[in-house]
Amino acid sequence: MDKSLQRFILAGLLLAASPLVLADTRASAPAATPASGYLAPPAPLQALVDAPRPPQLSISPHRDLLALTQTPALPGIDVVAQPELKLAGLRINPRTYAQSRFVFGSDLWLMDVASGKEIRLQGLPKPLSIATSSWSPDQRYLAFNQVNAREGTNELWVVDVAARSARRLITLPLNTVAGRGYRWMPDSSQLLVQLQPEGQGAAPVASIIPTGPDTQQTQAGGGVKAIRTYQDMLRNEDDARLFEYYLRSQSALVSLDGKVTRLGDPALTLAIAPSPDGRYLLRERVERPFSYLVPVESFPRRIEVLDRDGKLVKEIAHLPLVEGLPTGNDAVPTGVRDITWRADAPATLVWAEAQDGGDPARTADIRDLVQMQSAPFDQSPVTLAKLGSRYAGAYWGNGGLALIDEFWWKTRHVKEWRVSPDQPAQAPALLREGSSEDRYRDPGTPATMPDEHGEARLIVTADGQNIYRLGEGASPEGDRPFIDRVNLKTGTSARLFQSQAPYYEDPQVLLDAEGTRALISRESPTEPTNYYVRELATNGKLHELTHFPNPLPQLKGVKKEQIRYKRKDGVELTATLYLPPNYDPKKDGPRPMLMWAYPAEFKSADAAGQVTDSPYRFNRISYWGPQAFLTMGYTVLDNFSVPIVGEGSKEPNDTYIPQLVASAEAAVDEVVRRGVADRNRIAVGGHSYGAFMTANLLAHTRLFKAGIARSGAYNRTLTPFGFQAEERNYWQAPDVYNTMSPFNYADHIKDALLMIHGEQDNNSGTFPIQSERMYAAIKGLGGTTRLVLLPNEAHAYRARESIMQMLAEMNNWLETYVKQAKPADKLAAKP
């Protein structure tokens, strides 16, 4: 091969594996970095990236064993850059017939809850790359999905708990494109699996020569429909055929001796689940016509009940393609939705159906019906509940007890009802009514436990009168998680446990039906999260289970404080202030600061002012958040409140900019007052909607010397059918969309803006073009900006090289525009 051609190819390979960097500079700005390789940040930041991460825990059905899966180090770009298909909202690794964005476990072991003793396992595959795992209902086995992207394998393995050994169950490969790909049957003797179909040949290949244009056409009289801006949609018939090829799977039953019984023909199955008695299967499968506008969840589908041989028993629903919904966040499709098996009955289906056409603008006393239908499915459905807002799920106890939740987004109103499933004509009893935003009055989530079939059931006291709730315990002093026993008849609560200073203790699950013991996590500002058994009935005695060390002992001296202050309109605000080790504001004076936030919409100023988080949580320093820059000497204000309030009939975003600016001004004034930040050396940043906030703050204030915006959206006309919590479309509120778009005010941005974006962002609305166009605007207007596009990365970044690049870019930006800026006292001293 000609040497010049070799050099050309090598340069192309280097470029493909490097972030694309575009920079516009002033005299003081850093020069553009050649796109010839990834950058590395200073050693203290690298240490954050490579710090060990604690295992993930899964508790067994009988609540006496834990499965611990080690979270591995970040994958390299060679793993993240594996082939990937983007079809109908799915991201697929075509080599493994799997979703391509798993975080794989690299080790697996068990732990006895009573003694805390570790149980090591034999026969695990090497290298281990666990995508998901699942306990059998009888707890004798633990199944897991072993996916090896390099080798192109997707395997089903089981751990025999008593034998402490693992084995591959079948040689046939799984298809996990649309979900986990396996689940236990209720009797624990078989697994219901989705296999890659045999004999379907090679994947279809797109024709190089077009056979004609791709066309789309509307129908007259379709009405106004809100169609969100989705990524990874089908683009043509070639995509459609490829989508069918990889989604198609063969349902089968697999016994513990490896015997495979196929159920019917391969299908485009989205979900399949056995009834609690194991006699029936509920299947949802999609069919044509597909859409180029919406993801697979909105494609036409059939909801069917099959028998154990895979034969059709009853078609429950045949749902059409849904290309958009009526305007409003309370809009839903018509027909059957949210269908599941009733957990406490042998074979009863439960689902919701809108009674207002799915349109929140219509006046209706009854918005949703909750329907039930039992085997053999030859009788008409029975109405379990009539709801004035949208069905939001159920908790099943027994024939005389279930809890039904409903929610109306527009008002943030929630209700919880007690119903008797076996006596649906009996009037429901209202247990709770309030605002979803009111964290201080949140009663907590009902506690559940798996039954003998593996179904989640409410934990009910022996007399049938009480349930248990686990809650965050939000209060003006911060979160103080709790466990309550609640009398269903009187509504009174007995508090069995509540977290107390100086620790943050968070109940994970109750360990028995009598509510005498709980598995909790425990941490403090200086002690990392570990797991304990707390005896609730014997003075709260603790038994430590895990002993995970501090992954970053060099940062043990970080100081953390939950601070409160007010916005000029009187809204109470909170933030978490972090100070570097060995820093004393009185002695050392104010420091350069990085502030980080994510705005949130509220319907109540009181709710917006409620305290979030806890001052007693561990000082968890991650490479992903702003706390990373404590290692570089910056002070950090994390999660400073940016509430956007619209009370009553007012919409929050009608006054987004004034409220945004007021929140930032209040935060800056407070940290300056405390002497921990130099007013002239503060940067602001955020990810996603926080990036949008950052660009707006630079466009409408001069509070900050620099901004860091990661994976953001900046032009709201590119998301014309709503964004975040905004439910009006562009044509209903053009002034709001235009005013909120920092792109329209790019000429006002006078301070340095760094933008980082995954070049394959899959989040709705945050197309990479958002950052590309914002960069072009600021550059063309003479501003100071830099754009970094990370190859093979989505909305969040996964590769070690990408994270290192992100930290290096952020550090360089802060060093140049914040740390090197003149301190405020020197500016004030100017003649």
Return d(Cα 694, Cα 690) in angstroms, integer.
6
DSSP string computed for 404-455 = EEEEETTTTEEEEEEE-TT-TTSPPEEEEEEETT-GGG---EEPEEE-TTS-
Q: Which residues contact 790 (CB under 8 A, 6 or more apart)?
A: 19, 756, 757, 758, 759, 797, 799, 802, 805, 806
Return d(Cα 395, Cα 416) in angstroms, integer.
10
Identify the three-state secondary structure at position 549. coil
Catalytic residue among 251, 761, 764, 802: 761
Query: Do 800 and 45 form a contact (C-beta atoms < 8 A)?
Result: no
**445 has which bridge partners?**
470
Q: What share of the chain is helix, strand, coil (3-state, %, to 5)?
A: 20, 35, 50
Taking CA atoms, 630 is separated from 140, 288, 582, 675, in Å, by: 47, 53, 11, 16
Q: Provide the Cα torsion 75, 80, 86, 91; round to 10°.
A: -20
Going by their DSSP bridges, the two strands 504-510 and 643-645 should be labelled as unpaired
Catalytic residue among 413, 543, 748, 795: 795
Identify whether 795 is a catalytic site residue: yes
Identify whether 761 is a catalytic site residue: yes
Return d(Cα 672, Cα 828) in angstroms, integer.
15
Query: Do 564 and 574 form a contact (C-beta atoms < 8 A)?
Result: yes
Q: Residue holding tokens 């026993």?
A: 485
Query: Do 422 and 441 form a contact (C-beta atoms < 8 A)?
Result: no
Catalytic residue among 133, 688, 764, 771: 688
Phi, psi of 383 (to 5 degrees): -85, 120
Identify whether 688 is a catalytic site residue: yes
Q: Residue holding tokens 């391509």?
A: 100
The single-letter DSSP state of residue 674 is T
Return the amino acid letter for 759.
E
Q: Which residues are catalytic?
A: 688, 761, 795
